[in-house]
């Protein structure tokens, strides 16, 4: 039994019973998925350069080196997978490594006005590794609306210090009409999970 290149399910015939794709179609869809995932990662890495200028204390050089290493590792792995897929060789283990490299958590910061929020939320709907922080979120019951739309699991508390008043950042979460469990997650639970500090 071989595995479908796209969904990874076992199949005995040319057409996968799980996703309905033939071998050729699964190869095309896999390539498309690899290109999109790598392209989004590259876009984020490129945008990081101008955005990072707002935070001079950060060790930008080390971050850029890390992003570059991850990008070229994933690009090389993706090309290797495509080559093996053309030869109808097993790639399931390589897929797991590849998709394990790129779901690095992305945290969108400084989003406040309606258009910016809509773009950020659309990215969150498409990519489960995208998060948002709350320092600049404005608008009537904006926090409640965001929680209702995407849940609280990927919302991180932010104050915007030293440019903003930290009390305002606390108040917008404390007084939001959301469940206490959501409030606790935003105030610290989500960040602890991302940083692996649940048991600390």
Question: pTM for this one?
Answer: 0.53
pLDDT tens digits along 136-160: 888 888 999 999 999 999 999 999 8
Give CA–CA dist 45/25, Å, rounded.
30
Tokens of 183: 């409030």
Which of these ranges, 34-38, 56-60, 161-165, has the smallest mean pLDDT?
Answer: 56-60
Q: Which pLDDT value is given to residue 200?
A: 47
Q: pLDDT at residue 168 above 50?
A: yes
Query: Which residue in the block uniquely carries the two structure tokens 């809509």?
Result: 118
- pLDDT at position 185, please? 95
User: Which strands, in side-by-side order, build the sheet including 106-108?
Assistant: 106-108, 130-133, 155-156
Residue 111 phi/psi, 5-degree rounding, is -85, 125
Predicted local distance difference test score (pLDDT) of residue 122: 85
What confidence score (pLDDT) does residue 103 get? 57
Give 151's Cβ-side CA count (13 Å radius): 8
* H/E run at residue 131: strand 130-133
Return the minimum-mean-pLDDT range out of 2-16, 112-126, 142-156: 2-16
Compare 63 and 58 and report the one with higher pLDDT. 63
- Beta strands at 130-133 and 106-108: parallel, antiparallel or unpaired: parallel
């Amino acid at each position: 039994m071989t595995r479908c290149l796209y969904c990874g399910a076992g199949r005995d015939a040319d057409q996968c019973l799980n996703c309905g794709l033939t071998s050729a179609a699964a190869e095309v869809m896999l390539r498309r998925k690899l290109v999109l995932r790598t392209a989004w990662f590259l876009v984020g890495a490129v945008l990081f350069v101008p955005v990072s200028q707002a935070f001079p204390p950060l060790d930008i050089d080390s971050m850029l080196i890390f992003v570059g290493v991850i990008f070229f590792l994933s690009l090389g792995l993706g090309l290797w997978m495509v080559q093996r897929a053309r030869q109808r060789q097993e790639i399931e283990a390589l897929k797991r490594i590849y998709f394990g490299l790129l779901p690095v958590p992305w945290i969108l910061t400084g989003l406040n006005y309606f258009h910016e929020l809509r773009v950020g939320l659309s990215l969150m709907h498409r990519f489960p590794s995208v998060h948002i922080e709350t320092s600049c979120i404005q608008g009537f019951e904006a926090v409640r609306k965001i929680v209702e739309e995407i849940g609280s699991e990927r919302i991180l508390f932010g104050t915007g210090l030293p440019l903003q008043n930290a009390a305002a950042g606390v108040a917008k979460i404390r007084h939001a009409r959301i469940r206490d469990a959501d409030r606790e997650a935003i105030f610290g639970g989500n960040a602890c999970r991302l940083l692996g500090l649940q048991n600390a």
